[in-house]
Structure 1
Amino acid sequence: MGPADLTLGAVLVLLETREQQMAAEQETVRAQIAELSARLAGLEQEATSVTTTRETLLVGVHG
């Protein structure tokens, strides 16, 4: 059975199925983005703390 043999109803079912698959994939990607954003924020905060500590130590050594 080729594409020309599909009824309108069958095509609509296929399209609806694909829409549902894409919606599920979008939610997965959104969750991954949220997790990565949280990790990035943590790393940025840690980097700021490390930089501040380094600069403080340099002032103490050269102060």
Structure 2
Amino acid sequence: LGQGIVFVFTDNDIKDDQFLEYLNNVLSSGEVSGLITREEMDETLSELSVKMKKEYPKR
């Protein structure tokens, strides 16, 4: 936290206008909407929950 970040790219790096939309979303909200589906998110959280309970059973 508190560290500056620089994005350096040229117009040749922009292959699709969607790239700028993704970059704008990351800069403004910290996430890219539609990057993963709700089902993928639920599955990932479920898997992480199981692993965390094994690693930290008292929490």
Instruction: Pick the structure with greater CA Rg.
Output: 1
Establish whether TM, by shorter chain, passes 0.5: no
User: Which TM-score applies when normalising by structure 1?
Assistant: 0.35
Higher share of residues assigned helix? 1
Higher RCO, 1 vs 2 (CA within 8 Å, ≥6 residues apart): 2
